[in-house]
Amino acid sequence: MEAKATELFTSTFGSAPTQLAFAPGRIEFIGNHTDYNGGLVMGAAVTEGITVALGKRSDRQIHLVSEQGCQVEAHLDALEPKEGSASWTNYPVGVTKVLLESGMSMDVGYNIAVVSDLPVGAGMSSSAAIELATAYALASMFGYDADKAGFARIGRKAENEFVGMPCGILDQGVSAFGEPDHLVRIDCATETFSTTPMPAGTHFWIFNSNKKHALVDSAYADRFRECHDALAQLQSRYAEARSLSDITADQLEAAKGDFDDLLYRRASHIVGENARVRAVESALLAGDLVAVGEALTASHESSRVNFENSVPELDFLVHELSKADNVFGARLTGGGFGGAVMAFTSADFDLQQANVIAQAYHEQFDLAATVIRTRAGAGATLL
């Protein structure tokens, strides 16, 4: 990917880049929509991601090019979100604006070429990957210091305030803190990050449903609002609660009569999901992979029933995977409303089994599921 990014940059801008960076996509292992609710989440950086090549300009323009041939121009003195086919540039341009607001000095603009081997729309967070890769490259090129947590917060702020996506820090945090063959655990209330080894002989398989989602335009913002509406209701009874993740299952049950069924189910998903993250942590320590898998599948069922961020295509894949040999558990990964399913498997699960499930999916929905076998990889880095 480094050579590909260099070639795209050179052929587009007529000179070699001076800075390259890579950031991975991520798998959300467990902890669905808990990040912006102050909860717990576990994820893994993957080996696939986004590579950017940059070079300074002599003026204050920003010129951006993707491997699809889309070229977009912006200006340092007028950084505004773009729409339509140019909207992908909101992620690197948003990061640029946040870095400037954070004190980074840019006397000139830059050229940037972006290449990716992440499947777009699969819920593996290509957005966080381009944010982190851009942040690392710009910081190096223009002399700005930040640690991994700082870069993660820069990416999240760009997505929240410039792109308009009210996400938490899951995607950026996992992309920043990823380690080979490790899971990243985030306590989103305190924004503390840690890693834990993957159990030996286990693998991730991603089944991209190719049922596309666009989170900014989807029900993601509705779920964000519904969670905060549920919290407001609960705070009338539990004033000390700062987020839904401060609410226990017993407290939620005691307050069930305080609000309507929809908000109760939204809160149930978050409260239950935090409990499932803790259960997975304990099961991993005990080496109980069956219990890990049961928690993953239960997470998907809560997404389907309580949070309603699944779709029939994802439900079908989870159902088929859950009854397959050598699969510990399966669930949607990411925001939902389309995208991908993650299967957590033993080393004995193979491409032949995956293809049988993909074929059944195609027969059911007349869509081709893209199957990806991946592993936990390294986090964002300069090249």
The encoded tokens of residue 150 equal: 């700082």
> Residue 339: its pLDDT value, please?
86
Average pLDDT, the chain: 94
259: confidence class by pLDDT, cuts 50, 70, 90: confident
Q: Tell me how far CA of residue 45 lies from CA of 112, 126, 287, in angstroms.
A: 23, 11, 21
> Residue 83: its pLDDT value, please?
92
pLDDT tens-digit map of 129-181: 999 999 999 999 999 999 999 999 999 999 999 999 888 899 999 999 999 99
Task: Pick the closest to residue 91 from 108, 66, 67 (CA basis).
Answer: 66
What average pLDDT score do residues 251-275 get? Answer: 96
> Residue 216: its pLDDT value, please?
46
CA distance 170 to 175: 8
What average pLDDT score do residues 60-88 get? Answer: 94
pLDDT tens-digit map of 288-346: 999 999 999 999 999 999 999 999 999 999 999 999 999 999 999 988 888 899 999 99
Class of the domain covering 202-374 = alpha beta
Task: Pick the closest to residue 313 from 30, 49, 119, 123 (CA basis).
Answer: 123
Stated as kind and residue range, the H or E segment containing 41 is: strand 40-56
> Residue 119: its pLDDT value, please?
72
Q: What are phi and psi of 139, to 5 degrees?
A: -60, -40
Where do the domains of the chain lie? Answer: 2-198, 202-374
219: confidence class by pLDDT, cuts 50, 70, 90: confident
The encoded tokens of residue 308 equal: 């309603």
Beta pairing partners, 271: none
What average pLDDT score do residues 30-59 get? Answer: 96
Q: What is the pTM of this model?
A: 0.90
Q: What are phi and psi of 119, to 5 degrees?
A: -70, 125
Pairs from 322-327 (Cβ < 8 Å, separation ≥ 24) = 322/297, 324/349, 324/353, 324/357, 325/349, 325/353, 326/350, 326/353, 327/293
CA distance 117 to 47: 9
* Higher pLDDT among residues 278 and 258, named by residue: 278
CA distance 79 to 62: 10
The encoded tokens of residue 289 equal: 């992979």
Among residues of the chain, what percentage have pLDDT more than 70?
Answer: 98
Task: Pick the closest to residue 67 from 143, 29, 118, 138 (CA basis).
Answer: 118
CA distance 37 to 35: 5
* Higher pLDDT among residues 361 and 337, named by residue: 361
In DSSP notation, 193-238 reads: EEEEEPPTTEEEEEEEEEE---GGGSTHHHHHHHHHHHHHHHHTT-
Would you say domain 2-198 falls under CATH 3.30.465.10? Answer: no
> Residue 338: its pLDDT value, please?
86
> Residue 215: its pLDDT value, please?
53
Contact status, residue 124 vs residue 49, Cβ threshold 8 Å: no
Neighbours of 83 (CB within 10 A): 7
Q: What are phi and psi of 53, to 5 degrees?
A: -120, 130
Q: Where are the alpha helices (DSSP H) in the chain?
A: 2-13, 90-101, 126-142, 148-157, 170-177, 220-235, 249-254, 261-286, 289-302, 312-322, 351-365
120: confidence class by pLDDT, cuts 50, 70, 90: low
| Residues annotated as part of the active site | 171
> Residue 122: its pLDDT value, please?
65
- Tell me the angle at which helices 90-101 and 148-157 cross, rounded to the nearest 10 degrees: 120
What average pLDDT score do residues 18-27 get? Answer: 96
What average pLDDT score do residues 56-77 get? Answer: 94
220: confidence class by pLDDT, cuts 50, 70, 90: confident
Q: Tell me how far CA of residue 361 lies from CA of 1, 344, 366, 372, in angstroms.
A: 31, 19, 8, 15
Q: Tell me how far CA of residue 86 lies from CA of 109, 123, 128, in angstroms.
A: 18, 20, 17
Using DSSP bridges, classify how beta strands 110-116 and 40-56 pair: parallel, antiparallel or unpaired: antiparallel
Task: Pick the closest to residue 51 from 96, 97, 6 (CA basis).
Answer: 6
